[in-house]
Structure 1
Amino acid sequence: MKAEPEAQRRLLDLQALDTALAQLAHRRKNLPELAELAALAREISALSDERVRAQVDVDDLDRDITRIERDVDTVRMRLAKDQQRIDAGTGPARELTALQHEVVSLKRRQSDLEDSELELMEKREAAQATFEEITARRDATLAKREATELKRDQTLAEIAKEEEFKAAGRGPLAADLPADLVALYTRIRDSSGGIGAALLQGGRCGGCRLDVSGSEKARLRAAAPDEIVRCEECSRIMIRTSESGL
């Protein structure tokens, strides 16, 4: 295949644009914000689970406290009723004596219940503090995720804008080059890690970074300026200039 030396040199401009576009695509796929958002999602999920468990602990204690409060109210009402009958002094002496014993028992029961209630209220206070601490951590993580999402979106917008600019320059350039040259370049680029054409500089291929052999140099020197030459190692199109070292 043949192409004017100037067209071959402009192939490097096309390669530069394609390389830039590939780098932008790689950057989009590997944004640090994406990994950070994935980690934040896991953290938020774990904190949400912790928060549910903490809320269950608070609710369980609230139910226990309510139950004890009902028991205390029942004991107080019974105690007040018995004390009223004792104070009235009516009824057989044996019954009044039994009521006095019951009052003592009820007071002991009331004291035990109130001690249990106080203990539960202290546990409830600690459980509520745990719940609020987890909630604060989750809210802070949610805010961090929101900020990270904003940064991700801004970066993606910048990448999209740069891609649009690069693509706008690539179209006319590719259209202005020989179609068969572009087709060859594209096939090589697709099969060679994104590089289809490289500068031959100082006797070294810019694609594979290997020095060309002596016999290869002789072949390249003998090739006409408009002949498309390819690296014997990587098969990429080599662009010859005054810096090629031939």
Structure 2
Amino acid sequence: MKASPADQKTLLTLQGIDTGVQRATYKAGRLPEEARITELQRELETVRVSHIEKVGVREDARTELSRIESDVTVVEARIKRDSDRLQTSSSAKDVEALQSELTALQKRQGDLEEIELTVMQRVEDADAAVAESESVRNGLQELLDEVVAKRDAQLVELVAERTRLEADRASVVPGIPADLLALYEQRRSRGGTGAALFRAGTCGACAIALTGNDLAAVRSAAKDDVVQCPDCSAILVRTEESGLS
């Protein structure tokens, strides 16, 4: 295949653009923030489940405390009622019965108040556990939001870079002969590099130095011959850096 040296040099510009697109695409799919986001999401889910459990413990404690407080209120009301009746009763039998009931009620009141104090401590501990869990959850969420924002910002930059490079490519491609472009695209689809600078006897695509007959063939090729690397088949673009003169 024949192509002018200028057209062959244009392939280096195109390859640079395509390499930039590949690099941007690769980076977009492998941002380190992605792994961190996944890790934080797992941590956040673990904390969320734990938080729900702690809230459940707190609600159970609050329910029990409410029940005990209700029982205490009932006992206090009965003590007041019996105390009032005791003040007005003239029957010895009734007084004895009331005093006996008051003794039992006062013991019940004392027992309930002890239980109430214990449960109140449980509620207090549960409140503290829920507050701590909320703090951890909120902290993780804030960190996750920061990492997501950082990732999204990088993706925006990478998309913008790709868009710019694709626009550059669209302006370069029309100036390349169709057969030369087809060969370039064929080589690029197979090895990732369609064209490379041939510098100091070395292929810029596979970094292998040509020797013997391979180097002699490149040296003897006409300037408008399209030469390919014998090892990776990339188009070897010869310039003044090639050291062939």
TM-score when normalising by structure 1:
0.92
Identity among equivalent positions (%) equals: 36
Residue aligning to 1:20? 20
Residue aligning to 1:155? 154
SS at match of 2:236: strand
Residue aligning to 2:64? 64
Cα shift readout 1:50-86 (whole Å, capped 9, x = no counterpart): 2211111111011000110111112112222222233
Cα distance in 2 for partners of 1:55, 1:226 equals: 78
Residue aligning to 2:145? 146
Residue aligning to 1:243? 241
Amino acid at match of 2:175: D
SS at match of 1:238: strand
SS at match of 2:224: coil
SS at match of 2:209: coil
Cα shift readout 1:11-36 (whole Å, capped 9, x = no counterpart): 11110010011111112112233223
Cα distance in 2 for partners of 1:121, 1:76 equals: 19
Compute the RMSD of aligned alpha carbons.
1.7
Cα distance in 2 for partners of 1:222, 1:161 equals: 44
| Deviation for aligned residue 1:147 | 2.7
Cα distance in 1 for partners of 2:81, 2:241 equals: 112
Amino acid at match of 2:231: E
TM-score when normalising by structure 2:
0.92
Alignment: residue pair count: 244
Flag structure 2 segments of 5+ consecutive residues without an equivalent: none
| Deviation for aligned residue 1:174 | 1.2
Cα distance in 1 for partners of 2:154, 2:160 equals: 10
Cα distance in 1 for partners of 2:178, 2:35 equals: 41
Flag structure 1 segments of 5+ consecutive residues without an equivalent: none
**Structure 1 runs (4+) greater than 6 angstroms displaced:** none
Matched, 1:220 2:218: yes
Residue aligning to 1:118? 117
Amino acid at match of 1:105: A
Cα shift readout 1:127-167 (whole Å, capped 9, x = no counterpart): 11111111122222222233333323322222222222212
Residue aligning to 2:10? 10
